[in-house]
Structures are given as structure tokens and as C-alpha cells.
Chains A and B, each alone.
Chain A
Amino acid sequence: MIKLSSLFWLVLVSMTSFAMFAVKYGVQSLEGELNRVKKATISEEHAIRADEAEWAYLTRPETLDEMNRRHMSLGAIATKQLRTSIIDIPLRAPAPIVVDAPVGAVTEQPPESAALTVPTSTITPASPEKPAEVMEPIKPAPAKTLAKPAPSRRPRSLDELIAQVAASR
């Protein structure tokens, strides 16, 4: 019994000692690896900071302005180029619509759905003197703010001006 317990304790001590040393050296190895990774991270952080500073240097307004002058020649935005609201943007012009084209003059009948997209070059007029009529594109309605009010009498006071504005609405 004593021999068995001694053997048990001996095995346990051996296993524990081995495990403890394995853990110790494993931890030391991991700590070394961690240090290496941390050093690499710090080095990368320094490199990133240097890159950010370099990027700031390369994209400073003076450099961009010089590059623009050399390669793009972009100018400042003029006030008239700015559209401040949606109603200032003109509507898209519709495609031209062909009307009253002689049937016999059409060399090939296009499908009905594509009538609006047929180029005018494919339509041969009945006679050179009478070309086929092409509907003028519909002009977009002028924007509300662009419409100038009808000339009215020049207001002589603030109250008169307010009354005129109210009446025009």
C-alpha cells in the first residue's frame, strides 16, 4: 500500500513538474512573441504616422493648386454655375417625335415601340423640296425663380413693396 501511494505521488510529482516547466517555457515563449508583435505594431504605427504626415504634405492646397494648373486647369465655381434648388434645374428635353412621314417613303418599318428613337437619317422625304416635318423638342418650363415678375411701379416705401409682393402672389 505504501509502495503504491509512493508510486502514485512520484508519478504525480513528475507529471506536475513536467507540466509546470512546460507551462513556464510556453509562457516565456509567448511573452517573447508578444513583445515582438508589440514592437512590430509600434514600428508600423510610426510608419503610419509618417505616411499620414507625408500624405498631408503631398495633398496640401498649394500642391493641389499647382497640379490643377499643370494638368486640369479647373477654375473656381462661378455663382451662375450653382443651382441652389431643384426647381432651378431645367427638365430634360424630350426626344424629337416624327410626324406625318409618308409610309411609302420609309425604307423599313420600325417597330412601333421604337418610333421615338428612329434616327431621322433613316427617313427619306417624299421629295427633296418637302422634307419630313420633325416636331421641335418641347422646351422646359422656365424655373419659378428664374421667371422675372412683370415690370411694376417702383415701390416708394417698404409697405408699398410688401403690398406689391403680396398682390403678385
Chain B
Amino acid sequence: MTIATQRFDDNPCRPRHFKPPPCVAVIPDGPAKQALETCRTRLLVTGGLFALVFAVVALRVIEIVAVGGGTAESQIARFRMVTAPLPSHADIVDRNGNVLAASLDSPSLYANPKQILDPPEAASKLVSVLPTLAAAEVYAKLTSGKSFVWIWRHLTPAEQYSVNQLGIPGLEFEHEERRVYPDGDLTSHVVGYTGIDNAGFAGIERGLDGVLRGRREPLQLSLDLRLQYILREELQRVIDDFTAKGGAGLIMDVNTGEILAMASLPDFDPNRPTAPDPEHPAVPLADRMFNRVTLGVYELGSIFKIFTVAMALDCGTATVTSTYDASHPIRIGRFTISDYHGKHRVLSVPEILMYSSNIGAARMAVAAGAQTQRDFLARLGLLKTPKIEISEVGAPHYPAKWREVNVMTIAFGHGISVTPLSFATAAAALVNGGILRQATLLKIPDGYEPPGQRVISAKTSEQMRRLMRLVVEHGTGTMAAAPGYVVGGKTGTADKISGRHYAERKLLSSFVGVFPINDPKYLVLTMVDEPHPNKQSHGYATAGWTVAPATSRIIERIAPLLGVQPVDESSPEVQRALMVESLQGKRIEAY
């Protein structure tokens, strides 16, 4: 083109306005021809590429429509795809799958006061459908000038419908989750409760808050709801019968450490934790929220003697045939140690446990020594804070300096305060063959035996089983017997501390029972706080009259549920497994 233009431009006779027509054949040659060829080639390549890409697109469309059948997914974020939200907290279920705590969708009402046209009217209408609201408070919120204020959290579907019916602009709903506890106060101290933002405040909800958050599968506890109901009902019956201040109890699998039931009374409704109890309006809230099993530390009294006897047998300072002089009280310092069921004679080791001799236990502990006693209790985990999945745990109280008087009083359960949970864990180790396993509220898979630590020999454990059976057969715990289930155990009645002295009329009665004691499977610990005598108990409020019968009833009710088969207690096999020989080769009944 440049060449042709130059040719006409070079003609001096060319009219000024004359320009060659576009159809004028231009015959390039030389460099122009080469340039044209280059352009053509590029054009062809470009066109070919476009055709190729277009063909690929066309083939892909044909494949999607005709071949793929619509399996291709859109890569364009045109729609915000709906995804199922994870519950903020996983459900909690018992060992049989019964729901103990669940998160349910619950709308909460909030307002944008800047969009509220008539705050007085809006406040009035809201109070008419939500009577629990205070009109002045709602009006203050609606005139606050903010752009977001909560009006009411966690409405019911009916309340949400009523608010929608009002048609007030500026009111909106935020969908939240609300924690509900279908069983109410039955499992309150174990499951605990959450605050309005679903933050765990007590129990498993607090102790395992991190585990529950963002978990889809429900958390399975070791609790059995049926056993929990039976335990709580029987404890409540004891409290009512003896007009007691409170009670506590637990059922434990002695071979795994699983807690099958745990109750502390009085308790609370986790759905409305701060609401007063309609049945016991006078009971203060702090008392109802207090977990007596894991947080309360008590001088448990004579049930501690099983540790004294086990210590003496295991360290070799006593045998089953050893005897101790219990004919006279022991006077040490300002204390006098005497027996409640005094025999005023020399007692053998089985008799000391059977008749719950404080004097005998004290002498037995002194013979073993302070360091031995302290080491033994530490080995059983009684001198440290118990570990469990809930955060309400109490540290034990024990003397910093272990003097002789402390050795004596600790021998029969005074001068040392532990939680019932710690006691039950240690007691389970005494009867299960001597292995201490940590108590747990989580279900352990069937067939799995959690690791433990040997604390006494298997022989000592067997001797302890025989001795504990004697207590129920012939000793202070005869009312705990459940025919067919071979119960063994120990009673304990302690005077409570009032100020700096022991109050005689304020008792703490407790009983630890194990069944079947010839092949231990389950432990039942019951405790009642400040029971008062009644006519049926002939003026007694001791453990043998209060919690021992309750333990018997509990075992008779729960044993069929646990699959424990009743046996003939007089059968030679059972008798042989539980026989205790005394010094003279006579059976213990001869005493």
C-alpha cells in the first residue's frame, strides 16, 4: 500500500483531489508481498485457534447435554449453597442412648431501634404477647438509639408466631440454639447446665465444653438413666423419712471405674437453674447447686476402717487372726476414743470391722505407723484432688503434720475429709483384686479394661471381701443385705464438725456396699447428711438404720437391670469364697 501511494504521489500531473479508487489492483512485490503473506499466515493461525477453542467448548456443551446427563457441577458461586450447620454443642446421651442434653433450634428476638417508628406502641404490643417482659425496660431499649438490642432470647414457636403477628417493622429474629435437658433434675449434677450463650457452667457441660463444641456425634456417658432414677428416688426417700438436710450416692462398676449413677440431693433443674424448687422452696440455691459427691469433702467416719484394715493386712502388721485390746477407751491429749457398739474386750480384726470398733482400728493404725498410713492413703488417691470429667471437684483436707492422735482418728475416719467420689474409687480398688482405676463418667467400650495401678495385693483384696461380707452378715450392716445378691459393705456414722467441736446430734451416715461380694461387680455408696431419728428406726439415725436399708432396696432394684443373677447364699461355693477363719479355727459366728 505504501508503494502504490508513493507512486501516485510522485506523479506531478496528479490532480490535487484525485485519489486512486480502492479497487485499483495493487500488485505488491518485494517486501510488501512478504508482509502480506505474514499477515495471512497469522490470520489463519489465529482463526484456527479460535475455531479449535470454539470446537472444544461446543464439544463440552454437547457432552454435558447429551452424554454427561447433567453431572457437571457449576463452578460459579452464583448461589449461596445451603449447608447443614453443626450444632453448637453435641448431644449428651446415657450408656443406653437416652438423650440427657440436646441442642434445639430456638429463635431470639432483637430490634433495630432506628427502624422502630413508634416505640411506645411497639413496647406495649411486645409486652402483650411476651408477658414476662417489663414495659419500661422494653421502651428503654427501643429508644436507646442503638442499631441492635436483644429483646428476648430463646422464644418458643408460639411466641415467635405471636410476635410475627404484630407486624412491627424493626423487629427481627436471630436463630440460635438452646440447650434442653429432658430429664430435668434427675441428672443435673452430672450433666450440668449452660448459660444463655450455651457456655458450659457446670457438670459435663463445663468440664467437657471443648469436646462438646463442634462435635456431631453425641457424647455417651457411663450413666444408666434407670439406675440414676432408682438411686435418686431411694436417696430422696431416706431424706424424707429421716428429715435429713441432704444426701448423696453413686453406683460404680468396680472393675472399670465407670460411674453408672451419681446423685446429690437437693438438686436443681438445669433447664431453669436459678428458679426456686417448687417442692422445696426454702432450700437455698447454693445448697441445691452443690455437688456433694465430687465437690463436698466429709469426714466419713467408720467406713474408713476398711482402709485401716486393708493397710494393716497388706503391710503385714496384722493378719486376720490378730487381736487388739478394745476393753477400755483410749485417752490421748484432750480426746477420748471409745466404741459406739463397745464389746469391752479383746477383739480380732474381723470383729473390729464387724462391730466397728474405733479403739481397735486406732490401735491397728498405731501399730502400722503414721508414715505407713499416710503412704497407704496417698497410694489410694485419698490425699489428692480426684480426677473426673466434671470440674466440680473438692480437694481433701488432712493434717499437715501426721501425729499419733491423727493416726488414731484417721483410722476410723475422723481428722481427714475426702469426697465420696475419692472414697468410692479407693474402696473399689480394695475389692476388685487390688487395682486402682480412675473413676470416669464416660462410657468405656465393652470388653476394654482400663489400665490401673496395683495398690494392694490380690490376697489382701480377697480378705477384705470376706471381712466386708461379715459386716453385712453379722455386723452393723445387716439391714443392707439383699438376699441372693451377696452384699458386703461397711457402715459409717460420723459426727459432723460444728465450729471447732464435733456436734453429737449432727450425723453423717454413710454405707458402702459391694455386690456380689464373692465376685465384685458394682459398688453402691450412699450418704445422708444430718438424718434425724424416727419411730421406725427406734430412735437411731445411724448408718445401719438409715442408708443401709436404702442400699438393700437399691441393690434389689438395680441388680436385675444390671444382669446380676441371684445365687443361693448358703451354697458351698459362696460360703467357701467368703468364709473367714478366726484364731481357734471356729467360724466367726462363734463370737
Contact = CB atoms under 8 A, between A and B. Distances in A.
A27 B74 contact: yes
Interface string B43-54: 000000001001
A66 to B, nearest CB: 12
Interface in A34-51: 34-35, 38-39, 41-42, 45-46, 49-50
Interface in B552-589: 556-557, 560, 565-568, 572, 575-576, 579, 581, 585-587
B229 A16 contact: no
Interface in A15-35: 15-16, 19-20, 22-23, 26-28, 30-32, 34-35
B64 interface: yes
A46 B184 CA distance: 21
A35 B566 CA distance: 59
Interface residues of B, number: 53
B61 interface: yes
Contact of B572 (A39, A79, A161): A161
By DSSP majority rule, is chain B's interface helix, strand, loop, or mixed? mixed
Nearest 4 CB-CB pairings of A with B: A61-B229, A56-B182, A56-B99, A57-B182
11 contacts: A19-B61, A23-B64, A28-B74, A31-B79, A35-B79, A49-B104, A56-B99, A61-B183, A76-B557, A156-B586, A165-B576
Contacts of B282: none
Contacts of B61: 16, 19-20, 23
Contacts of A65: 229
Contacts of B575: 161
Nearest to A34: B81
A77 interface: yes
A164 B57 CA distance: 97
By DSSP majority rule, is chain A's interface helix, strand, loop, or mixed? helix
Interface residues of A, number: 50
Contacts of B65: 19, 22-23
Contacts of B72: 27
Contact of B82 (A12, A39, A76, A156): A39
B84 A26 contact: no
Nearest to B565: A84
Nearest to A37: B82
A45 B84 contact: yes
Contacts of A31: 74, 78-79, 81
B319 to A, nearest CB: 16
Contacts of B347: none
Contacts of A12: 54, 58
Given A38-B82, A60-B225, 9 more contacts: A19-B61, A23-B65, A27-B72, A27-B74, A28-B79, A31-B81, A46-B104, A49-B105, A53-B104
Given A23-B65, A158-B576, A162-B576, A76 B180 contact: no
B483 interface: yes
A26 B70 contact: yes
Nearest to B62: A19
B84 to A, nearest CB: 5
A145 interface: yes
B182 A60 contact: yes
Contacts of A55: 99
A52 B58 contact: no
A2 interface: no
Given A53-B180, A62-B229, A161-B575, A42 B81 contact: no
Interface string B257-275: 0000000000000000000
A47 to B, nearest CB: 9
Interface string B398-433: 000000000000000000000000000000000000
A70 to B, nearest CB: 17
A12 B84 CA distance: 43
Given A12-B58, A23-B61, A26-B70, A79 B82 contact: no
B564 to A, nearest CB: 10
Contacts of B228: 61
Given A28-B78, A65-B229, A79 B485 contact: yes
Contacts of A22: 65
B226 interface: yes
B362 to A, nearest CB: 31
